[in-house]
Amino acid sequence: MAALDQTQVKEGVDQETVDAVREVGGAYKYGWETEIEMEYAPKGVNPDIVRLISDKNDEPEWMTEWRLAAFERWTKMEEPNWAMVNYPEIDFQNQYYYARPKSMEEKPKSLDEVDPKLLATYEKLGIPLKEQMILAGVEGAENAPAEGRKVAVDAVFDSVSVGTTFQKELKEAGVIFCSISEAIKEHPELVKKYLGSVVPVSDNFYATLNSAVFSDGSFVYVPPGVRCPMELSTYFRINAENTGQFERTLIIADKGSYVSYLEGCTAPQRDTAQLHAAVVEIIIEEDAEVKYSTVQNWFPGDENGKGGIYNFVTKRADCRGDRSKVMWTQVETGSAVTWKYPSCILRGDDSQGEFYSIAIANNYQQADTGTKMVHLGKNTKSRIVSKGISAGKAQNTYRGLVAMHPKAKDSRNYTQCDSLLIGDKCGAHTVPYIEVRNNSSRVEHEATTSKVDDDQLFYCRQRGMDEEEAVALVVNGFCKDVLQALPMEFAMEAQQLVAISLEGSVG
């Protein structure tokens, strides 16, 4: 009866969500700032800055060279402009590329040594950096799961990783989970082998810039046959002003292994826009499986479209081995501009890729997001479920590529792409690209666009819910297929976010 139990827990969750939303009241709840002494590299980017970042991280020479080569390439590239997003030109020389709390100069040896201010920051964000059970937090005896679940956290603050929990327990299982800067020093053979092997240095403008100036991020290696004993998560916080965040994540699931990885992000509320350009690479060997979930809640800019994060992210999973499997789940509620297409390279025979996405754009937000499913191996399968919600004056674009290569015989794709409009000043766009180059494969695409239905809202209100509660309920229903794909803790957070992001969108 596992399925039944789960449903009941979710039943409880919805209520929690609504309560949490009521309590939160205000719009963006992570908009506060940590007062902390910072150390910056000089503004702008050039080979000296690249060297300095490499030096701050104590990197070996090969890494510095790798970065410099990337920088060299980047200077010859142009910013892409094909996405349906509009933003003022970014002055790449008027940004800081490296910012770290002074207290992190000497890398703390354990969490006990971390600056209390930093710990307090994560505490306030609801991410306690303690090795404790994270309780699913649903009250009511019947609904609560019997025991809590462990989640290991790597906390990244501006340019540096503050600390990683549960390191010892993970080590015993053979799992490596640390900051990428640490991995470069401690596990150079793995980093050398895999870094840039999924997203090549020259991949695209932002990924190339990231390759040159990435400061930190997370590294995961799960050895053959190991099922990672807990969820892994990285929490990114941009705090410093005028500072770009360029994190780099590398996840390797060796043969027959399994890991579920969560990523969360927030930033203070500021008038000026900030740049975030991350790269995530995932390598999945034979029979291995990776689940990657994101709840992206960067500051979206205010209701007049001022400020916010420009989010240009390259995420790609390479299903190298036969029967390997990857599942991307994303809830994109934040950022002023989102440019993001988590992709699956289905190289191994019988490999599978799934992409579940909720993208919410309110006020002046612009989201251009989707996925790429590149079928290379035989009998590969992919599934795309995208739910786009637009409110206010926002523009929301789903852009997706499904490519069946000649050798990808008997492969299948199913795409379902639904858009929901709240009000009449927003827009939803669907841009599917489909390339089928063999005749035994099948691609199915379904798309719908609908408006939040007044009759549904009235029905909810007649039963006692206020308008915002009603919208939250209806929209959460619209997103259900995706919310269900998220791990429990994130599902709750995501439901709240859906509600919060839509505040002020009706009435």
Q: How far apart are CA 355 and CA 373, in angstroms?
A: 9
**Residue 461 interacting with another protein (CB under 8 A):** yes
Instruction: Give the nearest distance from C-beta 132 to another protein in angstroms.
Output: 24
**Sole binder of another protein in the list 263, 469, 489, 503 (CB under 8 A):** 469
Instruction: Give the nearest distance from C-beta 328 to another protein in angstroms.
Output: 21
The answer for 196, left when phi > 0, alpha when psi is -120 to 50, beta otherwise, is left
Instruction: Give the nearest distance from C-beta 142 to another protein in angstroms.
Output: 5
Find the angle CA(446)-CA(359)-CA(152) to the nearest 5 degrees. 120
Q: Which is nearer to another protein, 186 or 466 (CB)?
A: 466
Burial class (CB in 10 A: 0-12, 13-18, 19+), 107: middle
Cα 263 to Cα 2, 238, 260, 336, distances in angstroms: 26, 14, 10, 19
**What is the total count of residues that contact another protein (CB under 8 A)?**
36
| Residue 431 near residue 401, CB atoms below 8 Å | no
Contacts of 270 (CB under 8 A, 6+ apart): 241, 299, 307
Instruction: Give the nearest distance from C-beta 471 to another protein in angstroms.
Output: 12
Q: How far apart are CA 3 and CA 339, in angstroms?
A: 35
**Residue 462 interacting with another protein (CB under 8 A):** yes
Instruction: Give the nearest distance from C-beta 256 to another protein in angstroms.
Output: 35
Instruction: Give the nearest distance from C-beta 492 to another protein in angstroms.
Output: 13
Angle between helix axes 61-74 and 205-213 (nearest 10 degrees) is 150
**Residue 453 interacting with another protein (CB under 8 A):** yes
**Sole binder of another protein in the list 197, 416, 438, 456 (CB under 8 A):** 456
In the stretch 9-28, what mask flags binding to another protein with x, by CB under 8 A? -xxx-xx--x----------
Report DSSP letters for 448-468, one per residue: EEEE--HHHHHHHHHTT--HH
**Sole binder of another protein in the list 479, 494, 500, 502 (CB under 8 A):** 479
Instruction: Give the nearest distance from C-beta 73 to another protein in angstroms.
Output: 45
**Residue 451 interacting with another protein (CB under 8 A):** no
In the stretch 82-121, what mask flags binding to another protein with x, by CB under 8 A? ----------------------------------------
Q: Which is nearer to another protein, 10 or 315 (CB)?
A: 10
Q: How far apart are CA 241 and CA 153, in angstroms?
A: 24
**Sole binder of another protein in the list 64, 95, 143, 197 (CB under 8 A):** 143
Q: How far apart are CA 92 and CA 89, in angstroms?
A: 9
**Residue 446 interacting with another protein (CB under 8 A):** no
Instruction: Give the nearest distance from C-beta 495 to another protein in angstroms.
Output: 11
**Residue 447 interacting with another protein (CB under 8 A):** no
Cα 60 to Cα 57, 69, 192, 282, 283, distances in angstroms: 9, 15, 11, 23, 23
Which tokens sit at 239? 């705090």
What is the number of other CB atoms lying within 10 angstroms of the CB of residue 225?
13
**Residue 6 interacting with another protein (CB under 8 A):** no
| Residue 34 near residue 103, CB atoms below 8 Å | no
| Residue 219 near residue 253, CB atoms below 8 Å | no
Instruction: Give the nearest distance from C-beta 61 to another protein in angstroms.
Output: 54
**Sole binder of another protein in the list 397, 476, 501, 505 (CB under 8 A):** 476
* Residues linked to residue 292 through DSSP beta bridges, in sequence order: 261, 328
Angle between helix axes 454-462 and 467-478 (nearest 10 degrees) is 120
**Residue 504 interacting with another protein (CB under 8 A):** no
Instruction: Give the nearest distance from C-beta 371 to another protein in angstroms.
Output: 21
**Sole binder of another protein in the list 80, 140, 406, 504 (CB under 8 A):** 140
**Residue 488 interacting with another protein (CB under 8 A):** no
HSE-up of residue 222 (Cα within 13 Å, Cβ side):
29
Instruction: Give the nearest distance from C-beta 27 to another protein in angstroms.
Output: 21
**Sole binder of another protein in the list 474, 492, 494, 502 (CB under 8 A):** 474
**Residue 5 interacting with another protein (CB under 8 A):** no
Q: How far apart are CA 277 and CA 375, in angstroms?
A: 26
Taking CB under 8 A as the binding criterion, the range among 25-33, 110-118, 346-354, 449-457 that sits at the site for another protein is 449-457
Find the angle CA(106)-CA(107)-CA(108) to the nearest 5 degrees. 105
**Sole binder of another protein in the list 232, 478, 492, 496 (CB under 8 A):** 478
**Sole binder of another protein in the list 272, 442, 459, 504 (CB under 8 A):** 459
**Sole binder of another protein in the list 37, 78, 116, 141 (CB under 8 A):** 141
Taking CB under 8 A as the binding criterion, the range among 6-14, 198-206, 211-219, 362-370 that sits at the site for another protein is 6-14
Report DSSP letters for 242-273, one per residue: TB-B-BEEEEEE-TT-EEEEEEEEE----SSE
| Residue 389 near residue 360, CB atoms below 8 Å | yes
Contacting residues toward another protein, per CB under 8 A: 7, 10-12, 14-15, 18, 138-143, 453-456, 458-467, 469, 473-474, 476-481
